[in-house]
Structure 1
Amino acid sequence: MMKLNDYKTVEYPTTLYKYRDWSNSLHKKILTKGVLYLAPPSSFEDVKDCNVPEKFPKKSELYDFFLEKSKKEYPNRNRNEHRQFARYWTEKSPLGNPRKLTKLIEELNNEFNDRFGVLSLTANCNNDTMWEKYANNHMGVCFGFDAKALFDCVGGGGEVQYVDKLPTIDFVKDDFVKKHVKNIFFKEKKWIFEQEYRLHKMWKSRASMDDRCFKFPVDSLVEIRLGKDMPLSDKEEIKQIARQNFPKAKIIECS
């Protein structure tokens, strides 16, 4: 199991890349507005991304679960008080009621999607599959960013792990960090071609579109790679905008 480290100790390549479709007006904002978008997990193509299986305690296990919870969180209580707490929550908790549990999970998932954002990047700028899938079949563009500058700007993040079977979050045994790592940094092996690194952010309340679009440092955009089949008019448009907004970025025409 990977560890959730402070972003300053996460290992990552010097440059991370974002493939974009230049015919999409929203994708153009990287160059025209100098912003990147932290997407809600609900918008992902992979429905299992940030949505790994969860294991909840059976009703027969709830008493012991709440008894231990009381002892851990309220160590000054006496034995009788711990037992009263465990009995009360065994009966009242939605964990013991399938209908309430389903509703609770739905509410938590909705809140998570409203408040959480992910920026997906990749370590590989010469990946034909990525060019085809995410950059309009080589007619788009691939932006290269100074990885450290982006991590400094956003904060949290790390490398995605690709596995045959997604890990299961154990509601009882896993602490917050383990739950977070399992949910955010694991994907099925069919996505391994992406070679993904992701940055993420959690807001205190529902994030607006403006919240999710963050201004990145001008000098952090270091490369602009033009797709090998990009129309000449698009190349000229990008070069003109780049000269004005990102004069230090190196423009590379792929072949």
Structure 2
Amino acid sequence: MDTNFQLWLRRVSALPYFERRLALARWVRPRLHRFLYKYKSFSPADDRSIDHLRDIVVRSRLWLSSPIDFNDPFDMSASIVAAGTARERRDRFDALAKANGVKWRERKLAAKKFARRPVGDIEEELQSSYQRNLEDVGVFSFAGDARSILMWSHYANNHTGVCFQFERARDFATLSGALTVEYSAEYPEVNWLTEFAESLGKVLLRKHEGWAYEMEERIVRPGDARKHLSFAPAALVGMIIGCRAHQQHRELAQALLEERAQAGLPAVKLYEAVQHRTEYRLSIVNTDFTNKLLNADVLSRAG
């Protein structure tokens, strides 16, 4: 991470809450969305799924998945090429070997041998190496809309689960890592010989255009696959119950919030998704006030 950005991040994170929100609105471009969302399924009969909710509600931590565990096998795919001259391939290999501590004579001989190999063989090996390293990348995905009918259907067990609401400014040090995903019909091309590291950023934030409805933002942490990432408890500000949730689901959600309160953590507002009477859309209702809809800006992406 850039040193200047680290210093700026520490300075902003140290500001009081409202000053921090104002600073983010004034200084960050493109402007970041105020809220992030995470849809989760759970079953009253499945203790493991309930414990996954407890991770977020009580333990204040996010599970970083490996891309090989995604439901989309094309996610983070890339076309790795080695487009250039034999000399460029030799120099690139030599620089890589030097960075890994290989002695001068050994790496010079190996670099010459490498440069003489067919480009197709090199690219095939690079592609395989990329796929192997991808397994170790940790990813946590946020959604961009709490009212998405498709997201509730696909990721919250047909509207019986929950959707968590996070406020970025309440833990900007962690949630600043949530970057916007781009959608395309083609793999990004990465040239191993030039701007390889810079190009990887595009790969890690690219998905097929069919997933655009997710409006995804994701935290990507190389080497942290299948680990937990802690966040400030205050960053979790809301939990929305699906419109098809049964009484058991509601009771479990409430029990987790009570467990959170007993742990001395900041309060989380409880909402409910409700089917609109005449339109194909959901409304978000504050459960503390029956039939009173939230103000439009409470759950808007822009805040």
TM-score tier after normalising by the smaller chain length: 0.7 to 0.9
Q: What is the match of residue 179 of structure 2?
A: 158
CA distance, structure 1, for counterparts of residue 200 and residue 126 of structure 2: 18
Q: What is the match of residue 27 of structure 1?
A: 52
State the AA in 2 paired with 1:27. Answer: H
* Correspondence for 1:228 among 243, 247, 250: 243
CA distance, structure 2, for counterparts of residue 33 and residue 155 of structure 1: 20
Q: Deviations over 1:99-155 (max 9, x none)?
A: 6764554344323322x2111001100000000000001000000011234541266
Contact 2:42 2:50 in 1 (8 A): yes
Q: 1:202 to 1:149 in 2, by over 3 A?
A: farther
Q: 1:155 to 1:180 in 2, by over 3 A?
A: farther
Superposition deviation, residue 167 in structure 1? 1.8
Query: Greater shift after overlay, 92-101 or 7-16?
Result: 92-101
The number of residue pairs the alignment matches comes to: 232
CA distance, structure 2, for counterparts of residue 94 and residue 31 of structure 1: 56
CA distance, structure 2, for counterparts of residue 154 and residue 164 of structure 1: 28
CA distance, structure 1, for counterparts of residue 60 and residue 92 of structure 2: 50
Q: What is the match of residue 78 of structure 1?
A: none
| 1:66 to 2:81 alignment | no
State the AA in 2 paired with 1:56. Answer: A
CA distance, structure 1, for counterparts of residue 158 and residue 250 of structure 2: 15
Q: What is the match of residue 111 of structure 1?
A: 133
Contact 1:35 1:214 in 2 (8 A): yes
Q: Deviations over 1:162-183 (max 9, x none)?
A: 1232321122233412x22221
Mapping 1:75-86, distance limit 5 Å: 85=108
User: Structure 2 unaligned runs (5+)?
Assistant: 10-27, 44-48, 99-103, 275-303
Q: 1:39 to 1:70 in 2, by over 3 A?
A: closer
More RCO (CA 8 Å, sep 6+) = 1
Q: Secondary structure at the match of 1:228?
A: coil
Q: Secondary structure at the match of 1:27?
A: helix
| 1:249 to 2:268 alignment | yes
Q: 1:219 to 1:95 in 2, by over 3 A?
A: farther
Mapping 1:63-212, distance limit 5 Å: 63-67=87-91, 85=108, 89-92=111-114, 96=118, 102-103=124-125, 105-114=127-136, 116-153=137-174, 156-177=177-198, 179-203=199-223, 207=224, 209=226, 212=227
Contact 1:16 1:147 in 2 (8 A): yes
Q: TM-score under structure 1 normalisation?
A: 0.77
Q: Deviations over 1:56-79 (max 9, x none)?
A: 237xx32244358879xx9xxxxx
CA distance, structure 1, for counterparts of residue 221 and residue 175 of structure 2: 7
Q: 1:208 to 1:52 in 2, by over 3 A?
A: closer
CA distance, structure 1, for counterparts of residue 125 and residue 206 of structure 2: 25
State the AA in 2 paired with 1:215. Answer: S
